Every structure is written in structure tokens, then in C-alpha cells.
Amino acid sequence: MSTNEKSAIKPPLWVLLELTHKCPLECTYCYNQLDFANTKDGMSKEDWFKVLDETRALGAVQLGISGGEPLLNKDIVEIVRYANDLKFYTNLITSGVGGEKGVLKKLKEAGLKTVQLGIQSHDENTMTLITNNKSAMKDKIAFAKEVKELGMQLIVNTCITRQNIEQVGEIIEFCDELGANYLEIANIQYYGWALENVDALLPSKEQLDKAMEVTNFYREKRKDMKVFFVVPDYYENRPKACMNGWGTTFLTINPDGLALPCNTANTLPIEFPNVKESSVKEIWYESKAFNFFRGDEWMNPTCRSCPEKEKDFGGCRCQAYALTKDMHEADPVCDKSAYHGVVKKIVENANKSDKLPIYRNKQNSLKFIENKTCCS
């Protein structure tokens, strides 16, 4: 990376604190690495405060609080209060399951601004099937109602798979009834457990087209709730500009203190720095890891000569590595990639597969077989 390119590095704007990787759900589409639940909660409350001080001093303004399930971190209220005092705009990203009674009211009083709640279906059986948690539906409805009663903004994220894609219309109606301000219908990106389960999760192009048609109908019908629809990479010919470009906008701190350019970056064969050992400023501007894919010197000839490299930056490094075992390769979603056939083969195999997904706890996977007709 040239000196001029280094001097042009802008500070992070969005910081994501992954307070824990513990989670009461076992969602089959989870993007986290396969062993993510083994990541230890190595950050003390004071460690998180230090991160907040240093990122705010750099100019960061948006703060996401996530996990795993962040409500399982006993210090979450104090962390939100500290962030609010620093004038961060705070956003809780949660399953709505597992938190102590009354914690949402405490978070509101501490300054929490927005709640993003994951809701997988309007149907209890489908919800149980996807999350492997029998109380998920009841808990999520109660949580959503409390968000609205407290006068807070509610964003719902619905990850779409083959198990719930034909329920899109009902899901939109359900979220509207819950009072959601925004609904993101997110056709999942295939990392971690999602990639492990891709044959069982990836919808067909026909299902996607129908779901988008249904979504567009409700967009016209519903003027109060904004609805967004995200198409999965595997049906595109050009990759997304992952995280707006490596080390340009987003900074993630995971539960043991690793600083990452995105949530899944530690699946790459790169040694990432730890905020307990270095300052955020040193990490962001000077570390080898955060400079690894800045600029275009790292690119292979296909990407470096591409006129769209300033738009997509060669696509996702994690996806390139997962599908080609070479993190310098062009994202195989791109039809200019020498590995684009890998994506086409995945789509072909998934469209003719009758596999059932597996959970992180594989001992529980037989529940899929017992319940496989619940959402048909």
C-alpha cells in the first residue's frame, strides 16, 4: 500500500461490539464461523469502555451492540450508558431471547436508541424449526411489544431461506402488526453455518422472484412500514462491495478483543490485532491486518484491471477464501472470476437437493426430520 493511500485512510464510522458469542438459538443460517461459540468472553467492562473512548476519539458515531446474543452480557446496560454519554447513536441487534426481565427498560433509560430484532417467521413451527428454540416465538413477540410500549424504534430483520421464503407475505403482515418501523427481508449471505447448510437453505430463482413480487405488492400497500429486500449473492453476476471496502468504514470487536474489518474476517488466514494489546488508532491505521486489502496492490490481474474495482473492491474476501481457499482471488460471485463456476455448481446442487439443515449441536438435528413438514 502506497504512502498516499495510507494518508487517505478515513476513520471508522460504524463500530460493532460483539459482547458475547453465547446464544440461546441455533439458527441454521448463522453467518458466524463454525466454532464461533468457542470464542471466550475475554473483555471486561473496562475493556469495552476503552474501545468506546478510542473509537469515539477517532470520529466513530454509530454503535452496534451484537453477539451471539448481547443481552446475555451482564454489563450491557452500563456499556450502553457509557456509549450514550459519549454521544454514540446506539443500536441493539438481538434475537430478543435470553435477556433478564426488565432489561429493555433499563437499556432505554441508559440511552439505547434503536432495536433490531431477528424474526424468522410468523409461524411458530417454522420459527422453532429454524432456531431450535421452542420458546423463541413467544419471547420475540413479547420483546417486540415491549420495544413499542417503550416508544423505541423497531427494526425487524428476517433472514430468508428455503424454509420460510414462501411465507414472505404473512411475515410482512405479522411485522406490520407488531408495529415495526422497518423490515429487512434479507436473503442470507452464505458464510459459516449458512455455507455448511447451503444445500438445504438456498431458495430457487423462481422462489426468489415470487418473494420479490410479493414484497413489491406490500410495498405499495404499506406506507408506514418500510420494507427492504436483499438478493443473495449467488444469483448475481457482480459481487457486493463488502463492508464498503476493507478497513474503510466498519470496525468489529469480538468477545475476546480481536479487532476485525468485518464479523467473519477471522475465518481468513490473517493474524488480527487485539484491543487489549494495542490502541484502536494503531490497529486501524498501522496494523498489517487492516492494511492487508486496502488499495489494489493485493489484487490479482483480473480485479486490478477491472473498471469496476472502485465499486466492488474485488468483492468479499471471506467469500473468496471460503470458496477458493485463496483470499486474494476475485469473489467467485463475479462472472469474471475464474471460479465463478463454483457458485453456479453450488446453485445447481442446492436446487436439486432435498437435504435438511443441521444445527451447531448436531445431536439435535433429528428434530428437522421430525418437523420437516411444519412449514410446507
Give binding residues for [4Fe-4S] cluster as ranges.
23, 27, 30
Q: How far is CA 307 from CA 2, 4, 8, 172, in A?
A: 20, 21, 21, 39
Range list of β-strands (E), the chain: 14-18, 62-66, 89-94, 114-118, 153-160, 182-187, 226-230, 250-253, 259-260
Name the packing angle between helices 168-178 and 205-221 (round to 10°).
30
Q: What are phi and psi of 159, to 5 degrees?
A: -80, 125
Residue 135 corresponds to which cell in the numbers above? 420458546
C-alpha grid cell for residue 280?
484502536
Which of 282, 260, 286, 284 shows the shortest CA–CA distance to 271? 260
Output b/e per residue, 103-114; b: 16+ Cβ within 10 A: ebebbbebbbbb
Quote the CA–CA distance of 268 and 266 in Å, as a whole number. 5
Cell 403482515 found at: 173
Contact 132, 364 (CB under 8 A): yes
Residue ranges of the binding site: 23, 27, 30
Inter-residue contact 314 to 243 (CB < 8 Å): no
CA distance 246 to 359: 30
Q: Are 304 and 296 in contact (CB under 8 A)?
A: yes
* 98: preceding bond cis by omega (within 30 degrees): no
Measured at the alpha carbon of residue 190, what is the angle toward residues 288 and 274, in degrees to the nearest 5?
25
Q: Which three cell numbers stand for residue 257?
A: 478483543
**Residue 362 neighbours by CB distance under 10 Å:** 9
In the 8-state DSSP scheme, what is residue 202? P
